[in-house]
Chains A and B, each alone.
Chain A
Amino acid sequence: MSEDRLDVRKTYKLLINGAFPRSESGRSYEVTTTKGEFVANVAQGSRKDVRDAVVAARAAQAKWWAQSAYGRGQVIYRLAEMAESRRDELAEHVRLCEGLSPKKAQARVSRAIDRVVWYAGWTDKIAQILGSSNPVAGPFFNFSVPVPSGVVGVVADQDSSLEAFVDAVLAPIAVGNTVVAIASEKRPTPAALLGEMTATSDFPGGVLNIVTGFTGEVAPTLAAHEDVDGIDLGGVDEDFANDLAHSAAGSIKRVLRPSPTDEASLRRLRAFVETSTVWHTIGQ
């Protein structure tokens, strides 16, 4: 490679409906390392981008849930395969964003990828854990089965740029929801990279949508959006989370305020499911 070759500079885009648009607003902002060195330009999403993402997520949800649980697991496992083959790039960005040593960054990427596999495994097992066959006084089978809430908004963790993001978006997706995620404001590139990998993992467009930008600007729109059925407020402080939960109440959303011990836990998987109970006559 010659020395005088022009740089191929990359602006990290949004992920909406399987495409990678710039923000509708045309804005972008600079992401820097913890020491203030330039990392990349990233699209600065707007309220309208959030709106478009919710439309895409809503449109994709029924189809994603209609896919077999096994099939959903295969798609998520494929994401792990893609992440594994681009792990150095992920680790580099985790290192830059979080200010870690290369070795620690690699370890975090490994944990994140393992967690993707973990969620892939749960897709066709969650019903056995959260579902039940209920005894009833009559000649009926009575089953309770977990069904997805629908469209889930995620305000992703501000510090853990990849691991917490994987938890926050894949838990709802594994159980059949579609997600609109607002990535960490100062550390968005690992999430954006993961988004790029979904494009080569058979993720149907709209299942995972990622908006990068200023959390304070876009999160209220997501929280108040009436077509969002649940919201994960992992990435905002106590006071702001209270405000957002308050506006989420207007449309009776499920609100998750995760604690650090929720990593890769059943509590995560259970956060955005509803219970559907069906009766079926015996012997018919």
Chain B
Amino acid sequence: MSTSPLRLVTSDAREVQLPSGSTLPAVESESQLRGLLAGLSGVDAVGAEARAAKLATRSLKKTTKLAALDLAISMVDLTTLEGADTPGRVTSLCTKALHPDPSDASVPSVAAVCVYPDLVAHARHVLGTSSVKVAAVATSFPSGRASLNVKLLDVREAVTAGADEIDMVIDRGAFLSGRLGQVFDEVVAVKEACDGAPLKVILETGELVTYDNVRRASWIAMLAGADFIKTSTGKVSVSSTLPAALVMLEAVRDFAEATGALVGVKVAGGIRSSKDALRYLVVVNETTGSAWLTPDRFRFGASSLLNDLLMQRLKQRSGAYVRADEFSGD
């Protein structure tokens, strides 16, 4: 297990101890899946919100803050998911992803750009062989309301066009009406269609109503082979919240302890300020441990967040607060 050199705060956060020889449990039937999920304890909603609120009061200072800002920049999936997206817009997004601050070479590249499948080929072309990945939102994003065949075709086309990572949405309708096996099977099928590309599964926590559902959906996605679980599409009114992310991170931690598989978490939607981003990093560090403080295991899906991170970074270095138009917009 690789560990990030950065420790955000001195803490007693537990490091994950992997039981040797543990493996993913095979899910063979819907009733078996239900049995597995029934074994999960309920989420203490008040406790989760209180813990998230408590962790949100942590303040990072000086060198730790600078390191955390750089880490957050390297974790950003720079995203444009608009009907009005054009190849030109994707070009400028990719350019920004490679060199977020053209005046400072010490700023790391972001983790990935995240676009609709039809713009994957263009993004791939602009990014070339750089370390920045191309992520595509497939499976009839954001609603996921299409037949499985259409979703799989969507995924396959994106992968063929050069997508390194796939962001899929679960069928919330199926989940909420209790067809858990269908949700599971879809993730398995999409994972297969990804042909080795890491799969991020969007739970859309804002539509799942309860934290218990968030925990259950997290487990279904992980059991079905998700490489990341992701909070939201960013297209519904309730996007990523700190308590929901906390519940997902706990699920990831428990899953790692039970099976030995390390699943990443991506938070997306509504994260605009550096302060918010650093709060998530604190929650990650305190829940799963610093092993998750790497772009391989934690991501921010965002667009305007990047500029705020750059502004705060510059402020930390120069001492003066920075103009918002110092950095390019979309």
Contacts and interface: CB of A to CB of B under 8 A. Distances in A.
Interface residues of A, number: 11
Contacts of A58: 324
B326 interface: yes
A225 B324 contact: no
A227 B319 contact: no
Interface in A38-76: 51, 54, 58
A51 B321 CA distance: 7
Contacts of A99: none
A225 B326 CA distance: 12
Contacts of B326: 226
B57 to A, nearest CB: 13
B320 interface: yes
A220 to B, nearest CB: 9
B323 interface: yes
Interface in B283-330: 319-324, 326
Contacts of A224: 319-321
Interface string A211-254: 00000000001001111000000000000000000010011000
Contacts, number: 22
Interface residues of B, number: 7
B320 A251 contact: yes
Contacts of B323: 226-227, 251
A250 B324 contact: no
Nearest to A250: B320
A254 B169 CA distance: 52
A21 to B, nearest CB: 17
A38 B326 CA distance: 45
Contacts of B320: 224-226, 247, 250-251
Nearest to A221: B321
Contacts of B322: 226-227
Interface string A93-105: 0000000000000
A33 to B, nearest CB: 35
Interface string B99-134: 000000000000000000000000000000000000
Name the residue in A51, A225, A247 with the highest tally of chain B Cβ atoms < 10 Å from its Cβ: A225
Contacts of A225: 320-321
A11 B320 CA distance: 30
Contacts of A51: 321
Which interface residue of B321, B323, B324 has the most chain A CB atoms within 10 A?
Answer: B321
Nearest to A51: B321
Interface string B224-265: 000000000000000000000000000000000000000000
Nearest to B321: A225
A58 B322 CA distance: 12
A247 B322 CA distance: 13
A58 B321 CA distance: 13
Nearest to A54: B321
A251 B326 CA distance: 11
A16 to B, nearest CB: 15
A247 B321 CA distance: 12
A58 B326 CA distance: 14
A226 B321 CA distance: 6
A250 B326 CA distance: 14
A58 B311 CA distance: 16
Nearest to A229: B323
Interface in B15-31: none
- Return the 4 tightest CB-CB contacts between A and B, nearest first: A224-B320, A225-B321, A227-B323, A226-B323
Interface of A: 51, 54, 58, 221, 224-227, 247, 250-251
Given A227-B324, A247-B320, A251-B320, 16 more contacts: A51-B321, A54-B321, A58-B324, A221-B321, A224-B319, A224-B320, A224-B321, A225-B320, A225-B321, A226-B320, A226-B323, A226-B326, A227-B321, A227-B322, A227-B323, A250-B320
22 contacts: A51-B321, A54-B321, A58-B324, A221-B321, A224-B319, A224-B320, A224-B321, A225-B320, A225-B321, A226-B320, A226-B321, A226-B322, A226-B323, A226-B326, A227-B321, A227-B322, A227-B323, A227-B324, A247-B320, A250-B320, A251-B320, A251-B323
